[in-house]
Amino acid sequence: GENVEQHPSTLSVQEGDSAVIKCTYSDSASNYFPWYKQELGKGPQLIIDIRSNVGEKKDQRIAVTLNKTAKHFSLHITETQPEDSAVYFCAANLGGGSNYKLTFGKGTLLTVNP
Amino acid sequence: DSGVTQTPKHLITATGQRVTLRCSPRSGDLSVYWYQQSLDQGLQFLIQYYNGEERAKGNILERFSAQQFPDLHSELNLSSLELGDSALYFCASSVHPDGSYEQYFGPGTRLTVT
């Protein structure tokens, strides 16, 4: 079926290192790929998104890359800080036409160790 | 703060009961999405309303229903509750009518069914 797979499920890095989270999607018609950060006890927060007409987008320490041919996209966080510790979710709009719905990956628990 | 509000924050009820969760979207947003988040299923799309009309359905049980009112707030009704309905319920809002644009999540309602 239509789904979004996310890896790894947990990631532990040292403060200052980079972190990379990868996702693959099944629907070749997907054209919108957001990333969300969820801290404990809070709702998911949109941190960056990318559309299929670009291959990379950056916002300060966060970047997202998209490979439409391979149907995968990745989140890159550089110079990680303890406050980056959270669960990160990727998502893709699946369904096509007027029926696009966001489908989320299972999440990655990122721990940044001071 | 996303601008999306949800009430109540916590809800504890017994099996077989019925509850109503409320969501107010960001000012100007016409779309409201409802999601269920559980440890085993992740973040699952339930249903979407756009400007008062049902727009899309996901994995929503027949025991669950929703509506969006003229002031654009939305309510999710859960009936004949089962233990497995215990989860976090989030609403998200968006300006646009389909799942190909930014969605902003509320803080969620934690439902515990005993």
> B 28-47 residues with CB below 8 A of A?
33, 42-45
In chain A, residues with a C-beta closer than 8 Å to the C-beta of B45 are: 101-103
Tally of helices (H runs) and strands (E runs) in chain B: 0, 11
The pLDDT value given to residue B77: 98
Residues 6 or more apart whose CB falls under 8 angstroms from that of A17 comprise: A80
Residue B100 has pLDDT above 60, yes or no: yes
The tens-digit pLDDT sequence of chain A (114 residues) is 568 999 999 999 999 999 999 999 988 888 999 999 999 999 999 999 999 888 999 999 999 999 999 999 999 999 999 999 999 999 999 876 666 789 999 999 999 999
In chain B, residues with a C-beta closer than 8 Å to the C-beta of A31 are: 100
Distance CA A3, CA A106 (A): 10
The pLDDT value given to residue B39: 83
Distance CA B9, CA B26 (A): 18
Interchain proximity B105–A44, CB inside 8 Å: yes
| B58 near A CB under 8 A | yes
The pLDDT value given to residue A97: 63
Sign of CA dihedral B62, B63, B67, B73: negative
Shortest Cα distance from B82 to chain A (angstroms)?
23
The pLDDT value given to residue A98: 63
Shortest Cα distance from B5 to chain A (angstroms)?
11
> B 60-99 residues with CB below 8 A of A?
90, 97-99
Four-CA torsion B93, B96, B99, B100, nearest 10 degrees: -130
Shortest Cα distance from A98 to chain B (angstroms)?
6
Interchain proximity A101–B102, CB inside 8 Å: no
Q: What's chain B's average pLDDT?
A: 95
Residues 6 or more apart whose CB falls under 8 angstroms from that of A76 comprise: A18, A19, A20, A62, A63, A64, A65
Interchain proximity A46–B102, CB inside 8 Å: yes
Four-CA torsion A79, B3, B104, B23, nearest 10 degrees: 140
Residues 6 or more apart whose CB falls under 8 angstroms from that of A46 comprise: A34, A35, A36, B102, B103, B104, B105
The structure tokens listed for A14 are 């040292």
pLDDT tens column, B23-38: 999 999 999 999 999 9
- Report yes or no: B103 and A102 within 8 Å, Cβ to Cβ: yes
In chain B, residues with a C-beta closer than 8 Å to the C-beta of A36 are: 105
The pLDDT value given to residue A110: 98
| B27 near A CB under 8 A | no
The pLDDT value given to residue A94: 84
How many CB atoms neighbour CB B33 within 10 A? 28
